[in-house]
Structure 1
Amino acid sequence: MCGRINVTDSAGVRALCEQLDIQFWPEEGMQFSRFIGATDRVSVVFNAADDKRQMVNAIWWLLLEKASPEGAFKPSRYTSFNTRYDKLNKRGSAGYQAYRNQRCIIPASGFGETINIEGKKYYHDMMVPQDDALALGGLYRTWHYTTDSGQSLTEYSCSVVTLPPHDKFQHIHKKASPLMLSASDGSMQDWLNPMMTSGTLNYLLTPKIRQPLNAVPIDKPSTYQPIGESNIISADD
């Protein structure tokens, strides 16, 4: 999966947020954008300490580092907008503890993919209908710091969990596919359930398309103008 997420204020995204039963929303509101890129802020949902669902706007880059002596954080030099499935159970990896204790959902309308063929890049937007939404499985981390005035603040970061490439994506992206979840088959609920262990969640680490996706060829991510016929990628059985 490439570093592009589409989060539009659609009926489908609103319905997904209702299904997630969010009790605490970010003060600045949910982040909507046709093109959210790595290191931008994206809205994530997780189970808070009191077992209530909370949404925060997190930096889409799991590993952060100090941006200044004052204590604020910025994306680290280590690439971490995605966390590979084969790193989740590797002790010492960036996602090891988060996979066990800090899993989140990223509500989205779609995501972007890129493929390089004979030195030329081809781009696709993978979209769901307006009345539907994607629940991308992710990880989050919290980072605490104190300002010069003594105020204690918390920064959030996140990544999307990526799985092996899916056979149906071979003409679009050959390296990886995002973890896509659904309320209808219980996978979304399992991912957010703090009682689920890493062992019982491993069944989700096999690529699966849980809802139809419309693959739209575009000129480039910054302008996202369609340049050819789209095609529907069917959901897996």
Structure 2
Amino acid sequence: MCGRLNVIDCPEVIDLCGQLGINLQDQAMPLRTSRFIRATNKISIVIEQKGERRLQDAIWWLLLEQAEHGFKPSQYTSFNTRYDKLNVKGSAGYAAYRTQRCIIPVAGFGETEVVDGKNQYTDFVGQQALGLGGLYRTWLNKETGELTYSCSVITLPPHPKLITYHSKASPLILEPAVFNSWLSDDQNVSQFECLMRPNIPVNLKAIAIDKPSSFNVLSDIKQIIAD
């Protein structure tokens, strides 16, 4: 996955938050929205702690390091966590996979592929909003007592339907049937093994663009049918 998300304030995203038990009007933190959210930005994640769910701001970069005032993204790239590292003891996501799973509500995501030496950018928008499976961690500022949250998106092998757009990986897109178990504090992660294969649960639109910052559409929108 390339490292950009689309979170717009649309009925589909609002409906997804409702499915996750999140009433946006009741949240202490507003939903962070932008058509172009890049890695290291703050994003909104859904977490469950002590049986209660909430929206939480998190830096989209799982590993942080101490800065002069709080924390900043580490030098080690960690906006994604590969599925095959989740059960490797000592890896960045091993403990979080068992105790700190989150869901990232998005309208879509973006991928980049190098073709003939040039970047080819494609944005994907779901027929419904997408709940991306992720991990989060917390970082304590010992001077202020403040907690900073960080997160990553779990990535899977490339999906055959998406491989021409991005040949390295695809994001974990969760179906509503697993939302509750994913957000629970159940450490029996063997139940999630069936999720660790590429899957497109909703129809997607593939939109070729010139670059993420300007979002000029280059060609006809292509339809990708759900599995």
One fold, TM greater than 0.5? yes
Q: Indicate yes or no: 2:152 matched with 1:159.
A: yes
Contact 1:187/1:204 (<8 A) preserved = no
- 1:194 shift after superposition: 2.0
- For residues 192-212 of structure 1, the C-alpha deviation after alignment (integer angstroms, 9 at most, x for no partner) is 222251111111101100000
SS in structure 2 of the partner of residue 206 of structure 1: coil
Contact 1:23/1:52 (<8 A) preserved = no
TM-score by length of 2: 0.95
- For residues 159-185 of structure 1, the C-alpha deviation after alignment (integer angstroms, 9 at most, x for no partner) is 0000000000121110000000121xx
SS in structure 1 of the partner of residue 190 of structure 2: helix
SS in structure 2 of the partner of residue 123 of structure 1: strand
Match of 2:78 in 1: 80
Contact 2:79/2:152 (<8 A) preserved = yes
C-alpha distance in structure 2 between counterparts of 1:205 and 1:235, whole Å = 17
C-alpha distance in structure 2 between counterparts of 1:196 and 1:13, whole Å = 28
- 1:30 shift after superposition: 1.1
Q: Indicate yes or no: 2:10 matched with 1:10.
A: yes
Contact 2:62/2:78 (<8 A) preserved = yes
Residue identity in the other structure for 1:51: G
Structure 1 runs (4+) deviating above 3 angstroms are 23-28
C-alpha distance in structure 2 between counterparts of 1:26 and 1:154, whole Å = 18
Match of 1:175 in 2: 168
2:109 to 103, 108, 111: 111
TM-score by length of 1: 0.91
Match of 1:209 in 2: 200
Match of 2:210 in 1: 219
Contact 2:58/2:148 (<8 A) preserved = yes
C-alpha distance in structure 1 between counterparts of 2:225 and 2:142, whole Å = 49
Match of 1:42 in 2: 43
Residue identity in the other structure for 1:217: A
State the identity %.
50
Contact 2:98/2:186 (<8 A) preserved = no
Match of 1:145 in 2: 141
- 1:53 shift after superposition: 0.6
Contact 1:22/1:52 (<8 A) preserved = no
- For residues 47-99 of structure 1, the C-alpha deviation after alignment (integer angstroms, 9 at most, x for no partner) is 11x2111210100000000012x5x1010000000000010000000000000
- For residues 82-134 of structure 1, the C-alpha deviation after alignment (integer angstroms, 9 at most, x for no partner) is 000010000000000000110000000000001111211111000024xx200
- For residues 2-42 of structure 1, the C-alpha deviation after alignment (integer angstroms, 9 at most, x for no partner) is 00000000001101111111379653411000100000000
- 1:187 shift after superposition: 2.5
Q: How many residues are paired up?
A: 226
Runs of 5+ consecutive residues of structure 1 not aligned to the other structure: none
C-alpha distance in structure 1 between counterparts of 2:201 and 2:84, whole Å = 21
SS in structure 2 of the partner of residue 122 of structure 1: strand
- Calculate the aligned-residue CA RMSD, in Å: 1.5
Contact 2:155/2:171 (<8 A) preserved = yes
